[in-house]
Amino acid sequence: MSEPETPPAPRAVQDGRVVALALEGTARLQLVHATGVCAEVARRHGLQGRAQGLAAELLVANALMAAWVKGEERVQLQLQSERPQVSFFGEVDGDGNCRARLAPPRVAGEGLAVDGVLLAIKADATREMYRGVTAVEGETIEEALRRHLQQSDQVTAFVRIAVDPAGRRAAGFVMERLPIVGDDEDVVQAMFETAVDRLSSLAPEEILDGLAEGRLLTEDLVELERQPLRFACACSRDRVERMLLALGPAELADMLARDGGATVTCHFCTEVYRFDGDALQRLAAVGAPEA
C-alpha cells in the first residue's frame, strides 16, 4: 500500500499587503500575506493546533480590514467566542505594524468555525471613527468577514482566507466590485459574478499562488500599492514606567515593601519588564508630592 502524498509546501512569499485592480479595472483587490507575522504571534503566545489556525485566520482578516488606514489610524479586531471558548484581540495600523493575542493557547476540537461575536473598531490616536459588531454563528472568520462587508459596509465582495494547519501559510484576499454609473453597470456586474463563480470552484491556495505572481485567473493585475507587514508591539519600558507612576507613590511604596520590585508582562507581545527595588524607589520618589 503506497504512502499518502505529502502536500507541497506553499511558495514562500514575503509578508505584506498589495492593492491592485482586476477584471479590466472594474474590481479592486486587496491581498494579504502574513505567514511570518502569524508564526510570531503563535510563538510568543505558545499557540498550537486549532488555536494557531484561529489566530492566523483572524489576523489575516484584521489586516484585510486595515487595508485603507493610514498613518496613526488602526483597525482592531476582537472575537469573543463561546464555541470554542476563545478570546482574540488584534490590531493593525497604517504602517503595517501588527500585534495580536489569542487565549487559551490550546483549543479542543477541529476546524475553524466559531460561535461568538466579532467586533471591529477603526480609530486614530485621538478618537474612535467606526465600530461594527457581527454575530458569528457556526461560521469561519472568512464567512463572517464576507457577511460583515456586505451588511455593514455595503460592499459586494468575494473573500478567501487560506491558513495552513502547520503554520506554513496565512494569507487571504478581498475582491470588491467598484461602483459603476451608467449603462455598463449590468455588464460589469455580470463580469464580477462570472469571476466569482470561477474562483469559487478553485481552492484558495491555488488562487493565492496566482495572486502572488500578479495574476487573477488568466488576467494580469494592475498593482496600485504595496506595503510590508511586520509584528510590532506598542509597548516600551517608558510606557510601563508611566503606567507605574500612574499608580501613585503609596501603591509603589506598598509594592516595594511587599515584593521588593515589580515585574510587568505585556499581554500582546509577552515582553517582560522588570524593575528592581532601586528602580521602583526612584519611580516612587518621582511621583511623590513635594513637601
What is the per-residue pLDDT across 196-214, written as a single tens digit (0 to 9) for each?
A: 999 999 999 999 999 999 9
Give the Å distances, CA to CA, from 263 to 52, 59, 224, 254, 272. Answer: 27, 28, 46, 14, 7
Instruction: Find cell 500500500 and name the residue.
Output: 1
- Look over the chain and give the mean of its residue pLDDT values, rounded to a whole number: 88
CA angle 176, 59, 24 (to 5 degrees): 20
217-245: average pLDDT: 92
pTM of the model: 0.86
Domains in the chain and their CATH numbers? 16-231 (3.55.30.10), 237-287 (3.90.1280.10)
- Percentage of the chain modeled with pLDDT above 90: 59
Cβ partners under 8 Å of residue 229, min gap 6:
15, 16, 17, 32, 33, 34, 37, 63, 92, 96, 98
Give the confidence band of 256 by pLDDT, cuts at 50, 70, 90. confident
pLDDT for 199: 94
134 or 155: which carries more pLDDT confidence? 134
Cβ pair 109, 82 in contact under 8 A: no
Say whether pLDDT at 81 is over 80: yes
Rounded distance, CA 26 to CA 23, Å?
6
Cβ pair 145, 61 in contact under 8 A: yes
Instruction: Find cell 484576499 and name the residue.
Output: 173
Give the confidence band of 290 by pLDDT, cuts at 50, 70, 90. very low
Closest CA to 230 of 20, 37, 12, 28: 37
Cβ pair 29, 196 in contact under 8 A: no
SS (H, E, C) the chain: CCCCCCCCCCCCCCCEEEEEEECCCCEEEEEEECHHHHHHHHHHHCCCHHHHHHHHHHHHHHHHHCCCCCCCCEEEEEEEEEECCEEEEEEEECCCEEEEEEECCCCCCCCCCEEEEEEEEEECCCCEEEEEEEEEEEECHHHHHHHHHHHCCCCCEEEEEEECCCCCCEEEEEEEECCCCCCCHHHHHHHHHHHHHHHHCCCHHHHHHHHHCCEECCEECEEEEEEECEECCCCCHHHHHHHHHHHCHHHHHHHHHHHCCEEEECCCCCCEEEECHHHHHHHHHHHCCCC
